[in-house]
Amino acid sequence: MRISRGLLDQVVAHAREEAPNECCGMIAARDGDAVRVYRARNAAASPLRYELDPREQYRIQMEIEEQGLELGAIYHSHTRSAPYPSQTDVNLAFYPSSVYIIVGVTSAEADVRAYLIPSRDRIEEVELEVVDE
């Protein structure tokens, strides 16, 4: 997935603003290019897990569909651990073709990683190509 520096900065800013709780949101894409970040409320309001508010998730998915876009990625942050999918993250990965972006904010420098989670027993790190606007 390709994402502009500006959109990625929005995701990282969201992660930092929500700390110490995890943030979450969705990214709309067109042909593998991220085009818009949708912040969502973490219904769990927890530093250990995220849960996209179901009403917000539905609203965002409908807006993405109405604009002729696709769900490119689901993102969340890890505020206490490395940006690698936890077992809870894997259990909640219901979109096998979407990229899962995790922003680690345990240090001053954000660590952003991307994964495909095609099944409960497979996690594949993928390149997140950051491009200038």
Which pLDDT value is given to residue 107? Answer: 81
Residue whose pair of structure tokens reads 């993250």 in the numeric block: 89
Higher-pLDDT residue of 82, 107: 82
How many distinct structural domains can be found in the chain? 1
**CATH code of residue 117:** 3.40.140.10
Domain that holds residue 27: 2-131
Per this entry, what is the length of the chain?
133
Tens of pLDDT, residues 50-91: 999 999 999 999 999 999 999 999 999 999 999 999 999 999
Q: Span 5-13, mean pLDDT?
A: 97
Model pTM greater than 0.85?
yes
Residue 72, C-beta contacts closer than 8 angstroms, at least 6 positions apart: 1, 27, 28, 29, 32, 33, 34, 35, 98, 99
Q: Tens digit of pLDDT for each residue in 12-37?
A: 999 999 999 999 999 999 999 999 99
